[in-house]
């Protein structure tokens, strides 16, 4: 949170630009509508940049490779003051709730150390494990939690955080749970995504009101 305030202060006489990133258009469609965001540029048929006032909204595509490629292309031309990654995640522990927003305090991969993120709310957050292939069986889910002590799993957050850290851009992340990271992952995601995207949009609106 301190890094966000610092960025705002440093940008006081300029426009404060927040870059909001999601992997899929379906995750962010309600937010684009609420913000009246306009399409600025297409990097490919699935990776698009939108603009809403002083805020940019970037759809990167799924997975770490697409995330790196799209964010790097964006940063070749733009310099945001802050990055907010939003999206869906699978639950690695039973203590979390389906369809609830969680703020991410750190993110790691199966072979890379954790990167700490700025928390926008609360004093503690969840640890997110970014994987190359989605977790869709309970054995792998349980092993992942045991080995990495993470409570959530996604595919892009770590790559985005790594780039943000290298570029010295503060970053936060929020995730909404859509599945239990088991054999029903795909079906549950399809069932949950429409309502989850609306909840994400409302949460981002609340965040934007505080900056």
Give pLDDT tens digits for 42-78.
Answer: 999 899 999 998 899 999 999 999 999 999 999 999 9
- The 10s digit of each residue's pLDDT in 78-116 is 999 999 999 999 999 989 999 999 999 999 998 888 999
DSSP sequence for 36-63: T-EEEEESSSS-EEEEETTEEEEE--SS
Q: Kindly indicate the confidence band of residue 3, based on its pLDDT and cuts at 50, 70 and 90.
A: low
- Closest by CA to 101, choosing from 206, 188, 23, is 206
Span 133-141, average pLDDT? 88
pLDDT at residue 10 tops 70: no
Structural domain count, the chain: 1
Number of neighbours of residue 3 by Cβ within 10 angstroms: 16
Q: How deeply is 16 buried, as exposed, middle or buried, from its count of CB atoms within 10 A (0-12, 13-18, 19+)?
A: middle
Give the C-alpha separation, 69 to 148, whole Å: 26
β-pair type (48-52, 38-42): antiparallel
Q: What burial class does residue 157 get, using C-beta atoms within 10 Å of its C-beta: 0-12 exposed, 13-18 middle, 19+ buried?
A: buried
The single residue listed with the structure tokens 């088991």 is 182
Which domain covers residue 13, as residue numbers?
2-209
**3-state SS, residue 176:** strand
Which whole number is the average pLDDT over 186-207? 94
Instruction: Check whether 8 has a pLDDT greater than 50.
Output: no
CATH assignment at residue 129 = 3.40.50.1580
Cα–Cα distance measured from residue 193 to residue 199, given in angstroms and rounded to the nearest whole number: 10
Could you give the 3-state DSSP secondary structure of residue 83?
strand
- The pLDDT of residue 110: 87
Report pLDDT for 195.
96
Question: Mean pLDDT for the chain?
Answer: 90
Tell me the C-alpha distance between 194 and 27, whole Å. Answer: 8
Read off the pLDDT band of 162 (50, 70, 90). very high
What would you measure as the largest C-alpha separation in the chain, in angstroms?
52
Question: E strand or H helix at 171, and its extent?
Answer: strand 171-179
Q: Assess whether pLDDT exceeds 60 at residue 124.
A: yes
Q: For a pLDDT cut of 70, what percent of the chain falls above it?
A: 92
């Amino acid at each position: 949170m301190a890094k966000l305030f610092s960025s705002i202060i440093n940008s006081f006489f300029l426009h404060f630009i927040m870059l909001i990133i999601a992997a899929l258009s379906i995750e962010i469609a309600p937010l684009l509508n609420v913000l009246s965001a306009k399409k600025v540029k297409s990097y490919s048929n699935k990776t698009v940049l939108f603009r809403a006032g002083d805020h940019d909204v970037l759809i990167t595509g799924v997975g770490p490779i697409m995330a790196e490629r799209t964010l790097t292309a964006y940063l070749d031309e733009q310099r945001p003051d802050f990055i907010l990654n939003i999206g869906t995640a699978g639950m690695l522990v039973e203590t979390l709730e389906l369809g609830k927003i969680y703020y991410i305090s750190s993110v790691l991969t199966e072979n890379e150390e954790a990167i700490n993120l700025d928390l926008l709310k609360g004093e503690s957050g969840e640890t997110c494990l970014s994987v190359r292939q989605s977790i869709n069986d309970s054995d792998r889910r349980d092993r992942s939690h045991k080995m990495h002590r993470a409570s959530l799993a996604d595919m892009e957050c770590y790559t985005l955080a790594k780039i943000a850290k290298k570029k010295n851009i503060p970053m936060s992340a929020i995730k909404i749970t859509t599945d239990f990271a088991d054999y029903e992952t795909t079906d549950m995601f399809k069932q949950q995504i429409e309502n989850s995207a609306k909840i994400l949009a409302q949460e981002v609106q609340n965040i934007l009101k505080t900056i």
